[in-house]
Structure 1
Amino acid sequence: MNSKVNHSELSNQLIVNLPILFSQPTGIATYAANLFPHLQPLNPTLLISPIASKHFPLASEFPCYPIPGDLTPAQGTKGHFRRLLWTQFKLPHIHHNLKSSLLFSPIPEAPIYTNCRYVVMVHDLIPLRFPKRFSPLTPYFRYYIPQVLSQSQHILCNSTSTARDIIDFYNIPASKITPILLGYNNHFREWGVGSRECGGDAMVGKSPYFLYVGRHDPYKNIHRLIDAFAAIPNCRNYELWIAGSSDPRYTPILQAKVEELSLTNQIKFLDYVPYEELPIIINGAIAVVFPSLWEGFGFPVLEAMACGTPVITSNISSLPEVAGDAAILINPYNTSEITEAMAGIATDNNLRSRLSHLSLARANQFSWEKTGKATVEVLSNYL
């Protein structure tokens, strides 16, 4: 890690705050990890922990300023709370000491009631759309984030859908918001003919399977996905794989539902799948099914399309922005629509082939290079 920062050379310098990077990234950390290499034209200084820098070798190509490693989502609520305190009381001093004129945060967190100038990224406002009683995210989104956004120089977001939410929930003017669609890693790619028919090299002999990738929160709509799968004619000839970290609040309820339907042999809970292994199971699936009730962007949809895997996803929020005409769009509240789409994929080879070709063409419109270039253009306006 290059932590030797010459403070005298950093006037008007951009600093990029990366406390959320850790070894098992989810959506937001994936965004941060893939974006920062493309900010090179601005010669930023990265605020990154020594632990995180070991997992992201490209960080060594930037001036780096070491920060604590216990501020990540891996530490749960404690990490979140520590990060907020650090952001309010430590980050302003770093900003001052580095003589930086602009802070960029890949999450909507920044020091408030200070003279720090910053641009932030908003990924979604799902805790406001689907509030949970006693969740610490409720006051966070209702009171802290709106203050951050009101004091920011500019706001980035990951879709037009998220931009509309920022305007509607926080009354932020549209002129202060720039939507920038995201990208995908190059290791998400098509394996070629046969991978979906046999379930991938590591899956030979398994039944054809549908795949869901993501968390188990209720708004992800997995309970309807399970019901939809159970209603497929001859569903016992297929499997449904649910990839995503187990959650003691929600996973047992889903598993109990599977047991009630006597589908424990057909529906597999894979728990967390390492990021580098996701292309294996995506390529092996006959379709990725992502019937979420709301998304700020929807990485699983884009990553599946990049692999040429047919996609079934929701017709609301940002998901049509990502999928375009390359997926089967369903009403996520209508279980029978999900069933019909899955049954069509299971039985119609021509449909699978057509969706696969459309998916690859659609994915080619997205890249981290495009995301980075658009981000550099915005940040340059405030340096």
Structure 2
Amino acid sequence: MNDRLLINLAVLMDKPTGISTYALNILPYLRELHPTLLSAQKLEGYSHYPIPGGQTPEQGAKGHLKRLLWTQFRLPKIYRELQGGLLFSPLPEAPLFQGCRFVVMVHDLIPLRFPERRSPLTLYSRYYLPQVLNQATHILCNSQATANDIMDWFSIPGDRITPILLGYNQEQFKPLNLPTSNYFLYVGRHATYKNLHRVIEAFAKVRQNQDYQLWLVGTSDRRYTPSLIAQMNELGLSDRVKFIDYVSSEELPVLMNQAIALIFPSLWEGFGLPVLEAMACGTPVITSHCSSLPEITADAAILVDPYKVPEITAAMETLIQDPQAREQISQGSLKRAAQFSWCRTGQATCEVLKGYSAFCFADMKRAVIGKR
């Protein structure tokens, strides 16, 4: 009887961000479990089961819907066809009421904390996500803050949840000994909870802003980006605020190394990967004092109340005016970042999946023996 581990990579994107980055970086540490990857892309060195493409966030709402329908109606058949013993999903999606055993990864509960009217993600989080988590064999998440949210929102016992902090690519994100330029850097989505309106307002109030720039790196969103551009123009910052589209992980370390600081005062984060990547470059970080962000930075960043614009402005001015403080934060960032790696994340994930794969196999073996 097989005890095959299946890994659902239907969400894998051509331009990896977030969940795709996580999944691709932990895969090498799961190889010892001999998984079969369910993916539209063939990844060398793994057993592969081809599935339809076009099911990712790159295809918008249509991609999400297509993936959810595939997950519910096609994936259970694949599970049985391949004699799966355990399904692992790098996001909280799995077949419901189909007898599949699965472990899922939860990255955040942002759509519940910041609900949007008629948003598919809000509906997904309110009605689909609780069913997935209640039926999961086990739940992984990326921080203690996210674990607390899962327990608080869904009353799920802590012993069914394992927080595993994320890592970063140590070959890419490191000090490059490049000269510091005159820009503050933000990396991430354009969304209300990312707090970019306050970032722009705070930058406008920096006394020396004539000599500095604010670079916002991330794919634009037609729902939010126009209001950011309008705000920039109203504040007379069109020559000092720069919108930059998606930047690959190969190019991003250069931007981080040359920035005065990464500015990331998000209202809430499940983890906050750009914060860790900037710290690994030795780039000072200004971020929020709430959610998972203090778990990442400890005392190696300037923590601010993300709702208070003067605090964000003051943090920027400190890094402009005080080179000694900038250097001290930079050195602390490097020491703190050294405590994180994809190796640690992957090995911890492997141990959880190994335990539940063995449990599945023992369960099935007992069932067979019991029928004799």
TM-score range, shorter chain: over 0.9
Q: Which of 81, 91, 94 is matched with 1:97 structurally? A: 81
CA contact (8 A) 1:24 1:275 kept: no
Letter in 1 for 2:36: T
Q: Deviations over 1:171-191 (max 9, x none)?
A: 111110000000001211110
Q: Give the equivalent residue in structure 2 for 1:4.
A: none
Q: Give the equivalent residue in structure 2 for 1:203.
A: none
Letter in 2 for 1:169: W
Q: Give the equivalent residue in structure 2 for 1:264.
A: 238
Give secondary structure in 1 for the equivalent of 2:16: coil
Q: Give the equivalent residue in structure 2 for 1:377.
A: 351
Q: Give the equivalent residue in structure 2 for 1:293.
A: 267
Letter in 2 for 1:16: I
Q: Distance in 1 between matches of 2:9 and 2:110?
A: 22
Q: Distance in 2 between matches of 1:171 and 1:90?
A: 30
Q: Give the equivalent residue in structure 2 for 1:78.
A: 62
Q: Distance in 1 between matches of 2:332 and 2:247?
A: 26
Q: Distance in 2 between matches of 1:140 and 1:302?
A: 29
Q: Give the equivalent residue in structure 2 for 1:19.
A: 10
Give secondary structure in 2 for the equivalent of 1:226: helix
Q: Give the equivalent residue in structure 2 for 1:205.
A: none
Q: Give the equivalent residue in structure 1 for 2:23.
A: 32
Q: Distance in 2 between matches of 1:333 and 1:269?
A: 23
Q: Give the equivalent residue in structure 1 for 2:310.
A: 336
Q: Deviations over 1:127-180 (max 9, x none)?
A: 000000010112210111110110110000000000000011111111100000
Q: Give the equivalent residue in structure 1 for 2:126.
A: 142
Q: Distance in 2 between matches of 1:382 and 1:279?
A: 37
Q: Give the equivalent residue in structure 1 for 2:225.
A: 251
Q: Give the equivalent residue in structure 2 for 1:45.
A: 36
Letter in 2 for 1:27: G
Give secondary structure in 2 for the equivalent of 1:282: helix
- Is 1:125 the counterpart of 2:109 in the alignment? yes
Over 3 Å off, 4+ runs: none
Letter in 2 for 1:35: I
Q: Distance in 1 between matches of 2:10 and 2:257?
A: 32
Shift of 1:278: 0.8
Q: Deviations over 1:34-84 (max 9, x none)?
A: 1111101211111111xx33xxxxx21111111111111111100100000
- Is 1:312 the counterpart of 2:297 in the alignment? no
Letter in 2 for 1:231: K
CA contact (8 A) 1:196 1:286 kept: no
- Is 1:163 the counterpart of 2:139 in the alignment? no
Q: Distance in 1 between matches of 2:124 and 2:213?
A: 39
How many residues align? The count is 356
Letter in 1 for 2:159: S
Q: Give the equivalent residue in structure 2 for 1:56.
A: none
Give secondary structure in 2 for the equivalent of 1:71: coil
Q: Deviations over 1:310-367 (max 9, x none)?
A: 0000000000001111100000001000000000001111111111111111111000
Q: Distance in 1 between matches of 2:233 and 2:122?
A: 33
Letter in 1 for 2:173: F
Query: For structure 1, which runs of at least 5 residues remain unmatched after alignment?
Result: 1-9, 54-58, 200-207
Letter in 1 for 2:38: L
Q: Distance in 1 between matches of 2:114 and 2:37?
A: 33
Q: Distance in 2 between matches of 1:276 and 1:219?
A: 27
Q: Distance in 2 between matches of 1:22 and 1:308?
A: 29
- Is 1:366 the counterpart of 2:350 in the alignment? no
Q: Give the equivalent residue in structure 1 for 2:175.
A: 190
Q: Distance in 2 between matches of 1:140 and 1:314?
A: 27
Q: Distance in 2 between matches of 1:162 and 1:289?
A: 22
Shift of 1:196: 4.0
Q: Which moved more, 1:22-31 or 1:258-267?
A: 22-31
Shift of 1:23: 1.5
State TM-score, norm by structure 2.
Answer: 0.94
Shift of 1:275: 2.5
Q: Give the equivalent residue in structure 2 for 1:273.
A: 247
Q: Give the equivalent residue in structure 2 for 1:220.
A: 194
Shift of 1:26: 1.6
Q: Distance in 2 between matches of 1:142 and 1:65?
A: 31
Letter in 2 for 1:265: D
Letter in 2 for 1:338: I
Letter in 2 for 1:189: K
Q: Distance in 2 between matches of 1:300 and 1:346?
A: 21
Give secondary structure in 2 for the equivalent of 1:119: strand
Q: Percent identity?
A: 58
The RMSD of aligned alpha carbons is 0.9
Q: Distance in 2 between matches of 1:45 and 1:323?
A: 36
Q: Distance in 2 between matches of 1:375 and 1:65?
A: 22
CA contact (8 A) 1:216 1:247 kept: yes
Give secondary structure in 1 for the equivalent of 2:270: coil
Give secondary structure in 2 for the equivalent of 1:332: coil
State TM-score, norm by structure 1.
Answer: 0.92
